Structure 1
Amino acid sequence: MNWKKEIKSWGLMLSVFAFLYFTGLMTPIMGGVQSVLLSTGLIKPKITLTNKETQNFDYRGKFTDMQGKEVFLEDYKGKTVFINLWATWCPPCRAEMPHIESLYGKVKDNENIEFLMIALDKEAKKSKDFIDQKEFTFPVVHAGFGLNNSLQSESIPTTLVVSPEGKIVFYQEGMSNFDTKEFMDFLTGEF
């Protein structure tokens, strides 16, 4: 075994990794790779009952939208609400966003469905800059006031769907491609 060659190979790989990490390119590159993986259809939302489902959703809380206006959760009562918790520093969050944008484009005219993309970055400006750069059109709010118990999760991205009756009918931690016929039928159907 040629140890010098092996050390050079490892050194080159570590140098590339360090470059990507310290220049801030690691997150967008990993998000892009994961988005391509989602496009293959290998990772789909699990439309099955899990821990928070069938619980009553807590409508207490407020956020700030990307224009600085306060948004209250109680204003979403009586509608089906697709909620996604995300951050700009999260590659899986970035990976699923183009698919969520596509789903939003297909259902945004349905007056019974609302989208609420909740940004968890420390600074709302960072979230706004990212959304503007990507030209996403789904509604985005910043969680500067905190999250209620219904929105607490172990990891991000986390996605919930709340029924018009105020029940959590879908809860998933981790990325997924929500732009599928099965999920759109679920979102637009009766719970």
Structure 2
Amino acid sequence: MFEGLNTGHISFILVFLEGVISFFSPCVIPLIPVYMSYLAGNAKKVDENGVITYGRKKVFLHTFFFVLGISFAFFILGMTFSALGQFFNSHKYLFTRIGGILIILFGLFQLGILDFKFLQRERKVHLNLTDKSITPFLALIMGFTFSFAWTPCIGPALSSVLILASGAKNAALGNLLVLVYALGFVIPFLLLGLFTARVLAFLKAKQKFIQYTIKAGGILLILLGIMTFTGWMNGISSYLNSIGTNFPITNKEESKAINGAKDTALEDEKESIVDREDSKGSADAATQEEEEQAGRELEEIPAIDFTLTDQYGNVHTLSDYKGKVVFLNFWATWCPPCKKEMPHIEELYQEFNLNEEEVVILGVANPKSEEYPNNSDETKEDIIAFLEENEYTFPTVFDETGEVFSSYYISAFPTTFLITKDGNVLGYVPGMMTKDVMQNVIDQTLKSTE
């Protein structure tokens, strides 16, 4: 379930540090003496010399339930964001990029560069505990109440973690992110429960140091945002969509039947870049399938084989590339997102030694002709001229009949399939990718058969 965490170790460390930074913030530290006085209850003792001591076991027990209350609130928020994550599943690429920008904004806010008034409002449930003896249950309620003190210091950090949780590839991974943040936040409380008197004295003496911790937290947030936006956190963000067992792979006979109906519909293909309502149903079906497949190993889906000729006259048979990872990119000359990502594809083609090593970069175009006037692109000659004009040298094969496009159910451009060394479809990415994301999905595909 966690095989996608190829870069996640760094991310989890940063999330944990964000939790620790949230504790060591000017918004939390001033509250510690008040809450610890409640948690100590009647365990506080003063000797004849005025030295304060606490019953360590009782204080730790109360502190343990206190942090359970905090964690419980965090997980409630995490569950809310995970539900949103399910809604955004079919738009995960865009949502993750937006999430990266939001996390960077939170970091700028925490550094004091930006000012968001709504994050500075505190939302607290006031409980009158002054006249009550502390119990584990009351400590639990206190922790739950304390966690909703939406202060300027905790708000940005926790919000960034919840954004990451909503973009996680499954609910377990999202909850794990929340757990890691909660651990970073509550472990200092547990230590405080063990060493109450000493820790309180230390914090009182180091108030000047505390002012720098919020700045460190802001820097960490900006780093997290950059990693999310650029695709470095691909293991968490899960750009590479799992196709599920219901992906509409068809055989050649089915492709021919579909192709007959396709001739009357492909003229509207160009509108799919702006309006992809036709693909919404398949995205919803894929989302439902992913939920049904949670906790189970996905069935291997063999890639549909084909034999096509590229712009140089070279023949490419997909099955001949078994033993290599294939980056199969469906594009069109009129497609603006395709044009934006094609320079990156060319760079990868050069970096992977012109398909001579373990990765094959292969484009697929669907040129018009007299026999197939409703295909989705210009003529073969126009496509070759486009490639030469822009100095794109990676091989692009021509699906002149539209059969391959039908077999892979291409409904929007660009769409990229990642095929493993075993010849199976690992996943697909609808829409434009940055070079970092391309590299990440290729790396995932390489590691999938290790």
Give the alignment's TM-score, normalised by structure 2. Answer: 0.31
Please tell me whether residue 176 in structure 1 is matched to residue 422 in structure 2: no
User: SS of the residue aligned with 2:392?
Assistant: coil
Structure 1 residue runs of 4+, over 6 Å off? none
Aligned to 1:80: 325
Out of 149, 152, 165, the position equivalent to 2:409 is: 152
**Contact 1:92 1:174 survives alignment (8 Å):** yes
Flag the structure with higher helix content: 2
CA pair 65-138 structure 1, distance change in 2 beyond 3 A: same
Aligned mates of 2:383, 2:427 — CA distance in 1: 25
Q: Deviations over 1:106-165 (max 9, x none)?
A: 223652211110112321111111111111121111111333355222211110011111
CA pair 92-65 structure 1, distance change in 2 beyond 3 A: same
**Contact 2:325 2:442 survives alignment (8 Å):** no
- The structure showing larger relative contact order (alpha-carbon pairs under 8 Å, at least 6 residues apart) is 1
Aligned to 2:364: 118
The AA in structure 1 aligned to 2:240 is I
Range that drifts further, 149-158 or 111-120: 149-158
Percent identity between the two aligned chains: 32
Out of 131, 144, 147, the position equivalent to 2:387 is: 131
User: SS of the residue aligned with 1:118?
Assistant: strand
CA pair 150-111 structure 1, distance change in 2 beyond 3 A: farther
Shift, 1:79, TM fit: 2.0
Range that drifts further, 114-123 or 73-82: 73-82
Aligned mates of 1:113, 1:175 — CA distance in 2: 20
Aligned mates of 2:407, 2:352 — CA distance in 1: 24
**Contact 2:331 2:414 survives alignment (8 Å):** yes
Shift, 1:176, TM fit: 1.2
The AA in structure 2 aligned to 1:170 is G
Aligned mates of 1:141, 1:151 — CA distance in 2: 15
CA pair 77-183 structure 1, distance change in 2 beyond 3 A: closer
The AA in structure 2 aligned to 1:156 is F
User: SS of the residue aligned with 1:128?
Assistant: helix
Q: Deviations over 1:66-123 (max 9, x none)?
A: 1334332332233211100011011111111011112222223652211110112321
Aligned mates of 1:101, 1:48 — CA distance in 2: 23
Please tell me whether residue 189 in structure 1 is matched to residue 434 in structure 2: no
Aligned mates of 2:243, 2:340 — CA distance in 1: 23
CA pair 72-141 structure 1, distance change in 2 beyond 3 A: same
CA pair 184-82 structure 1, distance change in 2 beyond 3 A: closer
How many residues matched? 151
CA pair 169-89 structure 1, distance change in 2 beyond 3 A: same
Aligned mates of 2:400, 2:383 — CA distance in 1: 12
**Contact 2:325 2:445 survives alignment (8 Å):** yes
Aligned to 2:101: none
Aligned mates of 1:185, 1:70 — CA distance in 2: 27
CA pair 124-105 structure 1, distance change in 2 beyond 3 A: same
Aligned mates of 2:440, 2:353 — CA distance in 1: 17
User: SS of the residue aligned with 2:242?
Assistant: coil
User: SS of the residue aligned with 2:344?
Assistant: helix
Out of 209, 224, 242, the position equivalent to 1:49 is: 242
Give the alignment's TM-score, normalised by structure 1. Answer: 0.67
Aligned to 2:28: none
User: SS of the residue aligned with 1:169?
Assistant: strand
Flag the structure with higher strand content: 1
**Contact 2:230 2:436 survives alignment (8 Å):** no
Shift, 1:43, TM fit: 7.2
User: SS of the residue aligned with 2:403?
Assistant: coil
What is the Cα-based RMSD across aligned positions, in Å? Answer: 2.7
CA pair 145-43 structure 1, distance change in 2 beyond 3 A: farther
The AA in structure 1 aligned to 2:440 is E
CA pair 42-131 structure 1, distance change in 2 beyond 3 A: farther
User: SS of the residue aligned with 1:89?
Assistant: coil
Aligned mates of 1:76, 1:156 — CA distance in 2: 24
Unaligned runs of 5+ in 2: 1-225, 248-297, 369-378
Aligned to 1:96: 341
Aligned to 2:73: none
